[in-house]
């Protein structure tokens, strides 16, 4: 998993004022699943990437490529 994505995911979550547990609840996944995305152990599928973008009000391009 790309370290930039993991970093951006964490920064987007923190900027939104949400905990990992809260994000997991919004996405209807277990907390460890979301935590693994932030830590780069696993990666979300395309559907989850879209949901993350919508939840954090960020484009997928920014989430994947830019420095947040």
**pLDDT tens by residue, the chain, 68 residues:** 688 999 999 999 999 999 999 999 999 999 999 999 999 999 999 999 999 999 999 999 988 887 66
CATH number at residue 58: 1.10.260.40
Q: What is the pTM of this model?
A: 0.90
Residue span of the structural domain in which 37 resides = 3-65
Number of structural domains found in the chain: 1
- 65's CB contacts (< 8 A; 6+ apart) are 4
Determine the Cα–Cα distance for residues 18 and 58; give it in Å rounded to an integer. 15
- Burial label, 55 (beta-carbon count in 10 A; 0-12, 13-18, 19+): middle
């Amino acid at each position: 998993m790309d370290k930039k994505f993991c970093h951006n995911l964490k920064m987007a979550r923190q900027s939104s004022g949400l905990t990992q547990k809260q994000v997991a609840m919004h996405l209807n996944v277990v907390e460890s699943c979301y935590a693994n995305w932030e830590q780069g152990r696993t990666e979300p599928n395309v559907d989850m990437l879209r949901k993350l973008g919508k939840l954090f009000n960020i484009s997928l391009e920014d989430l994947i490529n830019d420095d947040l």
